A and B are shown apart, each in its own frame.
Chain A
Amino acid sequence: MSEPDIRKELLNAPVEPLLPIEKKLIGWSLGIGLVLLVVLVMINHFVPITIAG
């Protein structure tokens, strides 16, 4: 079985516009991620790492 020429495939691939579902995936991921990070940073601030025992 011959393998596709990847270089050509990547150069000549037709453009696929971002679908609304992809935009949602990106937007929701980033949004939830940033909110969770802020929450975790706050938890980290109020419950700092304890080094003792």
Chain B
Amino acid sequence: MSITVESGRWSSATQPAPWIDEDWLSLCIGLGIFALALGGLAGMDVLGWVVSTSVWTDPGQALGTVSKAYAGLGGAGALLVTYLALLLVLTASAAALSLDVKRFAAGFTGVFALGYASWIIGSNAHVAAVTPTDLQKFGIDWSLKLTNEGGYVVALLFGLVIANFFPRLAEWLKEAIRPELYIKIAIVILGAFLAVTAAGKLTLATSILLRGVAAIVEAYLIYWAVVYYIARRWFGFNREWAAPLASGISICGVSAAIATGGAIRARPLVPVMVSSLVVIFAVVEVLILPFLAQTFLWQEPMVAGAWMGLAIKTDGAAVAGGGITESLILAKAAAVGIHYQPGWILGVTATVKVFIDVFIGIWAFVLGYIWTNHINPTRDADKARASEIWQRFPKFIIGFVATFLVGLYLALGTSPEIAAKLPAQIAEANTFRVIFFILTFFSIGILSNFKKLWQEGIGKLAAVYLLSLFGFVIWVGLIISWLFFSGVKPPLAT
């Protein structure tokens, strides 16, 4: 068994080389969904059949179509059509990735069923209802007040339980456990959603973008240096282990560990082990930090959003953590009569994460240059090349920027009629974004087999991670988030 470098997942070793990677695939799928959603601007409601879930007490009322034009499908019909559409697109993607298509289709069926079941459970009024008015409306006297996005936590816990107590089921699902693919598709779609949100408050959005620079400085120049020093001097790791470990803890988890491992010519096993560790700790962080943020930072929502982006490693967990944080803080604020516009807290998290991601290629090149010229001088053919910057560049970010810019143009640069129709169309695409978030959470849970990783000798690596993460990464991230975002509130909902 080994873990594929694409996603840090368990997989068999005998696969033909795919002709496309997950990065480009996520870009294509995300842009495809975005383009289809825009069909509504020309009067064609192409995606209105996608299933959406409402907060419920009667299970029969839980599901529906996102557009009233397809209401005739009913909730179960919408769920079935959504499943079939995703099965078709993602199975084709699996074929492009040279995966076992039959196993993927079977696994995806399980992942979708269990993941969406988690989402439905998380939308029960006893979990999701927030305000006293909601409680009255549903005729209940208590609720966990997690909003329906508490379904993400349910999906994560479902995945964890399966990984640790039902390993045979986890093994059956494994071909479809693709958290990196799912979250990258979601992030491409998220660009459009954030554009519509930002269009209403362009100056604030620009200010947030500019502050993303602080995240780059923190992750690459401060975190990395400190973690590398700790790993080398305090824990005695050699360079081959210390550099990917420092990148995994400091920058962007899986992608950074893999890029660094490649840059310093480490054995593939090294970044793969680090990636596994990153996923495990990201799960722990997602289960803890959003609730800490809700308790202590609900009056500083933007600080909380930035903190998630800086403290939680891996794109999937960070952006998903931002989503949970947003729902928890909006719920707490709503309970005291403050109704913030949704999208801003998550927007800050995504901005911080995307800014950090952009520089992975450059950082990998810098490390590659130092390693191949000064630490392990190699022959010219093996030296780090500038083209590696592009090779390491996370391509899905192109999709995120494209949907953001096109969305912004449609919202601000076109006729009022088009601008008025846009939010409903982006909401249809955004429903897919939510589904891909659910798949991500569930998949991350499935990857987290604590016992297996411990048996493989990950304990010493975990000690560095634990010390670095809880010793300073989380707290420095909080301080810097506070320095740049304290006092800034999301716009109020109108």
Contacts and interface: CB of A to CB of B under 8 A. Distances in A.
Contact of A29 (B224, B461, B480, B485): B224
Contacts of B483: 41, 44
A26 B458 contact: no
A50 B233 contact: no
A25 B232 CA distance: 13
A29 B484 contact: no
B489 interface: yes
B108 to A, nearest CB: 29
Nearest to B484: A44
Nearest to A13: B238
Interface string A33-53: 110110011001000011111
Contact of A6 (B201, B214, B222, B273): B273
Main secondary structure of the interface of B (DSSP, over half): helix
B299 to A, nearest CB: 15
A40 B214 contact: yes
Contact of A3 (B221, B226, B269, B375): B269
B220 interface: yes
A16 B202 CA distance: 51
B203 interface: yes
Contacts, number: 102
Nearest to B302: A49
B491 A21 contact: no
A44 B483 CA distance: 8
Given A6-B269, A18-B233, A29 B220 contact: yes
B416 interface: no
Interface in B425-450: none
B267 to A, nearest CB: 8
Interface in B380-438: none
A39 to B, nearest CB: 9
Given A37-B214, A50-B204, A53-B201, A11 B460 contact: yes
Contacts of A40: 211, 213-214, 217, 484
A34 B222 contact: yes
The range of chain B's interface size is 35 or more
A51 B488 contact: yes
Nearest to B241: A10
A51 B233 contact: no
B237 interface: yes
A25 B90 CA distance: 43
A27 B453 CA distance: 33
B222 A29 contact: yes
B226 A30 contact: yes
Contacts of A27: 225
A14 to B, nearest CB: 8
Interface in B228-285: 228-229, 232-233, 236-239, 241, 269, 273
Given A13-B236, A16-B239, A21-B375, A32 B488 contact: no
B457 interface: yes
Contact of A16 (B228, B238, B461, B484): B238
Given A49-B204, A53-B201, 13 more contacts: A10-B241, A13-B236, A14-B238, A18-B232, A19-B374, A22-B232, A22-B375, A32-B221, A37-B218, A41-B483, A49-B488, A51-B203, A53-B202
Interface of A: 3-11, 13-16, 18-19, 21-22, 25-27, 29-30, 32-34, 36-37, 40-41, 44, 49-53
The 8 closest A-B pairs by CB, nearest first: A7-B457, A33-B221, A29-B225, A6-B457, A49-B207, A33-B222, A21-B374, A26-B225
